[in-house]
Each structure stands twice: as C-alpha cells, then as structure tokens.
Structure 1
C-alpha cells in the first residue's frame, strides 16, 4: 500500500508563527534599548574644570569677545600661534543684521549630510560658531580644555542667530524657517550633550555602529524570549549531599548573600551621608560592622569548592567549573552597567550637586571591584584546593604574611587580591568540619578586633574600612576585621547551622539570589529618590510635600530612567531564568576541550569588561585608560562583558559543539580591533578571531557527519516494528 503524501492545512499556509509578532516586538525593544545605551555609553568624558592660563586664557578671551560685541575686535585677542596649531585662517564677514563678525572663512552649518546653510542662509552665524569651536580645540591642543560653559554659550548664540535670520528674511516661509532653526538647535544640543560640552572632536561613527550591532547581536542571542528553543542536554545525575554538608552549604549561601547586602548597604550609607553634611570618616564604626567582603569571599569560596568537587566527579573539568561559576557572576554586572549608564542622567535631572554624583557613583564602582576580586578567587580555587591538601596550615599563614608585606611595600591592589584568595581558601578548612573549640574562635575574634584597635590608633591607620572607590583601605585592617567576622560565622554548631539553613532569612537570601539584578536596581532606585530629595532640599528647599516632589516631571523622568531598565532586566533576564546554577550537561572528551576553551575566553573577556567599568567609574575618565593594550572605554567594555557572558552560557547549555558561538565570538572581536589603542589589544583580539574561526570551521565540517548519525538514528527508529 502506497501512502499518499499528506497535504498541508490550507488555513496554515498564510498564518504566521504564533510567537513571531511577540518576538518581533521584543526584538525592536532590545534594539531601541541597546541603541539608547550605545548613545549614552559612547559619550565623551567631562572636561576638567580649571582656570585657563597662557594661550588657553587668550582663546577664552577671544570667545568672550565673539559673544559680547561690546568687548571689541575678537581677532585682536587671537593667540599668535592659532593658525599654526589649527590650520584655520580666521577672517570677517558681515551678518544679515549688518554686524561684522569674526568667522572661520570657508566654514558652514555642519549636518550629517555635509554643510547645509539652508535657503534662509545661516552662513555667517555658522561660520562664527565654527571659529568658536576652533578656539575650543586650540585650547585643548595647548593642554587646557576650557570647560563646558564656553561651548554652551557658543551653541546658544548660533541658535539665536538662526532664529533671528528667520525674523530678518523668512523668504516667505517664516514657520518653516523656525522649524528648521529649531531642528538645527536640537542637533547642536544633542551633539554637545554627547560630548559633555567638552572640546569638539570627530567621533568614530563607523566603529560605534559596528560595536552597537555586535551589542545588539549579543543581547538577542541571550534574551530568553528571543532565543530559539533548544533542547538542553540533560545534566548528569549527582548523588545528593549528606545532610550536614547540605545544611552547611545552605548556611554559607545565606552568609554569602547577607554579606553582599551588607556591603551594598554600607556603600549606600556612605554615599548619602556626605549629602546630609556628615563626613564619611565619622561613620567608621559602621564600616567595622559591615565590611563583610572577607566573609563574602569565605562563603563564596565554599560554593566554589563544592562546584569544583562536582566538576571533578562529573568529568566536566575546569571548563565546566568556570562556566558554572563565572556565568552567574557576570549576570549581575548588567545591573551595574544599567546603573552606570543612566544614573548620571537621573542625578542631573534631580539637580543633585556635581560633587555628589561621584559619591553616589560608589554604589556602582564598589561592587564591581568586589566582583573583580571574586573572579580571581573563582579562577584560583582548584589551585588553592591542591595547596590545602599539601600544606593546609602553611598556606593561609604565608598568604596572611604576604598581605601585610605587600601593603607595606605599597602594593595595595596586590594585597587586596591576596586577601580575597586567602579568605576563599579558608573555606576549605571550614568544609573539613574539623570542629574548633568555640572558646578558641571567640578568643580569636576578640584578638583580631583588639589588633585592629591598636592598628588604627597606635599604628596610625584609618579606621574607615570601606574607602572611596579607587582609594584602597588598609588591607591589614580588613584582614583583621575579616578574621573576626569569619570566626564569629564559624561559631554555630550543627544545630545552629541547620536552624539558619532552614529559617526565614535563608529563604529570603534564596529569593534575592534568584533575581540579584532586580533587587540591586530596586535599591538603587530608592537611593536615587533619597538623593533627589536631599538635593532638592539643599538647593531650593523641599516642595510642600514629598508627593508634590515626586509628581514633578523631572523627578518622574529621573526615576523612570532607572525604573524602566529595572523592569526590563527582570522581564528579559531573570523572570524566565530557570537554568540550574549548579547543573552542567554531560559531555564527551572533545566537547570538554571546547568547553574549556570557551570558558577560558569567556572568563577573560568578562573580567576585562568588569575591570573596564570598575576603572572608568560612573562618569568615565578624560583620557581613555589602556591596560595591556586594551582600551578601557565603555563600548569595548560592553562588548567584552557580553561576549564573556555569551561564551560562558554556551558552555552551560552545551552549544560549543555547534559553530554558532565561535562565529559570534569572531564577529564580536572586530570592533575592539578597530578601537584598540596598542598592539597588544589588537593581537589578543585578532588571535581570538583566528582561533574561534578555526573552531567554527571544524564544527561546520562536522555538520554532515552529525547529520548522517542523526539520519541513521531515525532510520533505526523507523525500522523498529
């Protein structure tokens, strides 16, 4: 009997995929969000505010004369070497109102499509504006930028000139002339805002466009709603932990989240206190209580230890271990990134004083430094486990001595790194469940606090244990307070550990862990609102009520700038996140090697992205910092961060055996190659591109073989009666 081919349902031929409109809508939203982030991230850093001297002062005087007709001839004040430095020969032109203006001869109204003076002839105003911009560039070339005010005033003068031209000679269409002048003025404001009203410069539109396309692609392949559903290989069944080990793991998971919350709360208080007139130095007792970073490394070290033991037992190796641990560390960085992008705008809308912007910025920069150190702890866990087996007593003592020695030698960052690894290594001692007398632990905690008192009084060290971002607090002092906290955390016996592990606080910690980005951004919204209220009270006094203040358009827009991304982060990344943080699919030997490569690349690029944002801070730096040839500028940091996250997630879901992650990695390295400031950065990205393209080619060549195997499996299944 011959089976007739089945006929398609006529009604289904013209029917779109039921999820297509929804996915298209989310795709458009992701593009718009990424585009907005790209515009904000590519802003120039603010110029330093300094009193101009020498040639820069002459340039400032020339601009002042251009803006004030009563000040005399501007060209009489022109610096002697202006033409030699800029290549511009200034001259005079008669404006439509009869006024003689100093201008850039040959200049015009710049637009994206070239110079366009329009049919209403804005030429003289645009040429005078060009000369003012030339003077701003000259001052920067002389090493002293003039600040934001001269550029704002030059833009305002050009806007006034264009609208005045519409009154003088509307050419029969005054309304259209006003609209065009308004559009040109808006373009001026947007461009100057994008460059933070600093010296005008040519912007790398091509590199930014390429980088933005890569950012959109990396977001699209990671947003759960937009991803194509893929069957994830099942994770290998593991033997459950024994009850004491399970209770211990839950107890330390609670401590890990509690310590992280404590650090964020301390940073929030230290950020708000100066706005209330309270110096941060007076809050040193709070920092002794809430400097819980060592406890975070200790509790996190225990989680790393369990993950490494599982990786060894499962045969997933170092690649599977890194992917499992680092992927969940990079996710919260997206919340910091969101805050980094929109917080300055929100603070500006709320009229928060300029000196408070950097203070509130510690809420973003502080946790990033913490994550940078924790990435190091995660990466070195296998080595520290080996050292624990070989020299369990000598290792922590040697590292403690190294912390003190490095700080004495002036290497504060190295001392902090060793300190983080030390507390991560102490978790191996706690995991051994070798009970230490509670009296000994309590006595050690008291001695540590006593040593801290001596260090901060007789030793002359600052008692403030949480310093400003970029200013390292005493590593020895943090070591002592960390030992006190760890000793106190180790005091509870099995009954106490189990009570905490099964109690309400542990359940709350699990809830926070399920949506860390959302929880952090909600806290930041609250701090932002408080900062806005304080700023309003300091500048002009509070309105009649807090409700009136919240109802103001500026306040609503400022809160929406952070509130809307908070909702998007939750919906796009955490609402549908169901992947087991400790689960990894079963792998063969070849896949394990590819996983190790992808995990190493993902960890490296993720760390580069986190470090980039930690170094540049909330408002960026006037000169782009370069580390080992890597430009630490926002667009490159975004790409590094998302690329690392994507590669690690590919290991998690077992897609490194396909060519797509490797092709995406190769494409993502193209924009950083264009913007690399040194040969080292270019070599790293080019090498990554070559390696990933090689792996992708190998996986493409393997596709026919995999298809043949799948066909044989289907044929065998059909042959079964």
Structure 2
C-alpha cells in the first residue's frame, strides 16, 4: 500500500460520522418535505395543476419549524470545513481556489440535471405535454439552496477569521446586524411599533432587508465554526438553545412574523425572501437539537448498519437533492395511469393524508431508477477534474454559475432550463483548469 493510500485509509478510519448523519437526516427531511408540500390537482383523472400545502393549510406553517433545515445544513457544513479553512489561512493558500473546487463540484451535476430537464421541456413544448406545465417551477425552485450555499461558503474565511478574533461575540454581532436590519426595514416610529415588528417588516418590500440574506445565513455558519472550536457543547447548552428557539419563535410570531419558515407562494409575507429574525429561531432549535441528542446519535452510529446507511446517504446527497423534484413528473404520470388518489383534496377532508402517502410512495418508487441512472452516469464521467486557479476566471465562472441558477429559478423548467443550462455549462468550463494537469 502506498503512503497516499495509507493516509486515505487512516482519514476514513477517523472520519466523524456525526456531521455526516446530521446532513443525511437534513437531506431526507428536505426530500420528504418537498414531496409532502406538492399537492397534485386532478380533473377527469388528469393532473391540471398543483397546490402548495402552505397555501391550502395555514396551520402547516408550524411544520416548517422542523422541515426548514437549511440552517442545520449550513451549521454542519461550516463545522466540517472549519479546520480546512483555518489551515489554508495559516498556510497562506488562496481560499478562492478552494471555493472554485466547490463551485465546480456543484456545477457539473447541475449541468446534467438542467440538460435532462431541457430535453423534457423541449419535447413537452412540441408534444403538448400536460405534466410539465403544473410542475414547471417546482422542478427548479430547489436550486436556490445551491446559490445560497455558494455565496455563504465564499465568506467562510471571513467567518473563520471572525471566530479567531472575537469568538462567540461574532455570533452576537451578526445577530445585532440582523435585528437592526429588520428594525430599519420596519421603519419603527415609536416603542409601541415593536409589538407589531413582524407585521411591519413583512408588509414592506425587501429593500434593506436583503442585507439579512448574508447576516442571517452567516449566523449558522458562524455557530458551526464556534461549535467545531469547542466554544459551546453539551446537552445542557442544547436544551437551553431549544427553549430559546421556542420562545424566540413564539415571540416573533406574536409580533406578526409569518408562522411558516418556507414560502408557499411568491408575493405573500415571507420569512425567507429576504430572511428575517424569525428564521433565527429555527436555527436555535436545530443547533440545540444537535447538542442535546449528540450522545445518543453517536452511540447509534456505532452500529455498523447505521454507519453504512449514513455513508450511502452521504454519497447520494447531491444527486438525490438535485433529482428528487424531477421524480414528481413520472410519479404524477404513474398516479394518473393507476388511478390512485394523489389528489386527496385539502387537509380536513377524508383521505387527505392517505392521499399524501400514495403520492410519497409513488415518488419513492420512481426516484429509485432515476438515482440508479444518475449515479451510473456520474460514476462513468471523469471524477478528478482540476479547478481553475486564475482569479478573474474564477470570479467570472462563479458569477455565470449563479446567474444560470437564478435564470432557472425565475423561469422554471421551460424556458429556464434552456437558458440556465447555458450559464451553468459555461461556468463548468470556466471553473476547470485548462489544460488539465497530467495524472501520474
């Protein structure tokens, strides 16, 4: 065995599976949450539209306190990346080069997804395909997470530096910025207005509130680094954060912030576009849960079968996130053909949750062969692709990547996948080294 292989084996042996388990759990929550939230609407046995669970049932907003797991994912990703970021800072390596590798790693599978989506969209446009219309935006809306993650990870060196200099005071500073932004957005004129802070904030255009697109999402990243550095730990702290999160959410909702931490439709009052103080309450709860249940989960991970399952989910993470929404297309088609009750009405009606189970079962059935095809393709393509190291090229490539994702988000599968693919494919080309170094 070579020294390189020995080092890789040693690294694998000491790999901390707890963060992997947290990310795998968050991934499953996202996948099932998206499927649950999509409500097919049938007429004469054919799907003609879709609703969002939050639109037809306002009480579902409380469920998003559990289902909105993006803060958890950012928290864990920062904890995993903290040591590497610190090492690069100390050795004088360019963080931008590391980010180029991350961006390239996201761009390549996204090119595949958008290419397939474009093919389906073009075929649907010429054949009058019904199913694409109701699911058009649903097939690309989940790409927003990739855009947000790229932006936050680009600021990882700043978060590491802030932790080294100020410790948990950096978290307090970000929290203060988020609070000031919401206060300015609300245009508080008197102390009494604070009792209606949430209503005032979410009744106005984003404006200065978009500053919180950085401040609020940087909070879990800052906390993840602090956790990795051992600045807080233990179930007592975890329980305290859980209670803080519940009180935080109760207090913010009482002032008029929306209950839901996910948007059911554009244009309605939102905690997400841009992020608000209310969303921070979810972060407290999730970080508190990480600390509170760390001991039991680590003991569970000592079981070989559980550890293996976490490893598999970790390897499938990116493909499953990209393609789970695509599975709704064949699931709807199969539901029509079998005549199962995928349109079960609205909550409160007989059979609604039974219909939800049918829909989820169909999505699971069809996502399996989709994943087999995707993983087979990804394993056959060249894996070790060197990333670009020229700063202007990386900046342009990153901008084009984000632009392509934004276009896909705004325009949906048709025509968004077509124009978005151009941007993401260009980014995939720009973000790789030319020529590629020769492998020994």
Q: Same fold (TM over 0.5)?
A: yes
How far is the alpha carbon of 1:235 from its aligned partner?
11
How far is the alpha carbon of 1:469 from its aligned partner?
6.2
How far is the alpha carbon of 1:372 from its aligned partner?
0.9
Q: 1:327 and 1:634 mapped to 2: Cα distance?
A: 18
Taking the TM superposition and a 5 Å limit, the aligned residue runs for 1:409-420 are 409=185, 410=206, 411-420=208-217
How far is the alpha carbon of 1:489 from its aligned partner?
0.7
Q: 2:317 and 2:9 mapped to 1: Cα distance?
A: 28
Q: Is the 8 A contact 2:88 2:95 kept in 1?
A: yes
The corresponding residue for 2:359 is none
The corresponding residue for 1:611 is 406
Deviations 1:543-597 (CA, angstroms, capped at 9, x unpaired): xxxxxxxxxxxxxxxx99x9998666434333455549xxx89xxxxxx9x4545
Match of 1:573 among 374, 378, 393: 378
Q: 2:410 and 2:391 mapped to 1: Cα distance?
A: 28
Is 1:473 paired with 2:271?
yes
How far is the alpha carbon of 1:377 from its aligned partner?
1.3
How far is the alpha carbon of 1:599 from its aligned partner?
3.5
The corresponding residue for 1:427 is 224
Match of 1:523 among 324, 329, 340: 324
Q: 2:395 and 2:51 mapped to 1: Cα distance?
A: 46
TM-score by length of 2: 0.70
The corresponding residue for 2:107 is 330
The corresponding residue for 1:485 is 286
TM-score by length of 1: 0.45
Task: Name the CA shift for 1:308/1:461 in 2 (closer, same or farther; >3 Å).
Answer: same
Q: 1:656 and 1:352 mapped to 2: Cα distance?
A: 45
Q: 1:493 and 1:357 mapped to 2: Cα distance?
A: 38
Q: Secondary structure at the match of 1:272?
A: strand
How far is the alpha carbon of 1:486 from its aligned partner?
1.1
Task: Name the CA shift for 1:567/1:264 in 2 (closer, same or farther; >3 Å).
Answer: closer
The corresponding residue for 2:37 is 270
Task: Name the CA shift for 1:521/1:369 in 2 (closer, same or farther; >3 Å).
Answer: closer
Taking the TM superposition and a 5 Å limit, the aligned residue runs for 1:641-652 are 641-650=424-433
Task: Give unmatched runs, 5+ long, in structure 1.
Answer: 1-233, 542-558, 586-591, 621-632, 658-721
Q: Secondary structure at the match of 2:262?
A: coil
Is 1:396 paired with 2:171?
yes
Q: Secondary structure at the match of 1:430?
A: helix
Q: 2:132 and 2:113 mapped to 1: Cα distance?
A: 22
Match of 2:259 among 458, 463, 466: 463
Task: Name the CA shift for 1:468/1:332 in 2 (closer, same or farther; >3 Å).
Answer: farther
The corresponding residue for 1:288 is 65
Q: Is the 8 A contact 2:171 2:223 kept in 1?
A: yes
- Greater gyration radius: 1
Count of residue pairs brought into register by the alignment:
375
Q: Is the 8 A contact 2:319 2:374 kept in 1?
A: yes
Q: 1:332 and 1:469 mapped to 2: Cα distance?
A: 27
Is 1:602 paired with 2:369?
no
Q: 1:401 and 1:504 mapped to 2: Cα distance?
A: 44
Task: Name the CA shift for 1:343/1:423 in 2 (closer, same or farther; >3 Å).
Answer: farther
Match of 1:362 among 138, 143, 151: 138
Q: Please give the root-mean-square deviation of Cα atoms over the aligned residues, in Å.
A: 4.3
Task: Name the CA shift for 1:510/1:606 in 2 (closer, same or farther; >3 Å).
Answer: farther
Q: 2:89 and 2:257 mapped to 1: Cα distance?
A: 44
Task: Name the CA shift for 1:342/1:498 in 2 (closer, same or farther; >3 Å).
Answer: farther
Task: Give unmatched runs, 5+ long, in structure 2.
Answer: 42-49, 186-205, 344-364
Taking the TM superposition and a 5 Å limit, the aligned residue runs for 1:240-251 are 246-247=15-16, 250-251=17-18
Q: Which moved more, 1:293-302 or 1:407-416?
A: 407-416
Q: Is the 8 A contact 1:298 1:423 kept in 2?
A: yes
Q: Secondary structure at the match of 2:425?
A: helix
Q: Is the 8 A contact 1:605 1:641 kept in 2?
A: yes
The structure, 1 or 2, with the larger RCO (C-alpha pairs under 8 Å, 6+ apart) is: 2
Q: Is the 8 A contact 1:612 1:637 kept in 2?
A: yes
Taking the TM superposition and a 5 Å limit, the aligned residue runs for 1:75-114 are none
Q: Is the 8 A contact 2:27 2:321 kept in 1?
A: no
Task: Name the CA shift for 1:286/1:528 in 2 (closer, same or farther; >3 Å).
Answer: farther
Q: 1:463 and 1:255 mapped to 2: Cα distance?
A: 25
Q: Is the 8 A contact 1:339 1:521 kept in 2?
A: no
Is 1:302 paired with 2:79?
yes
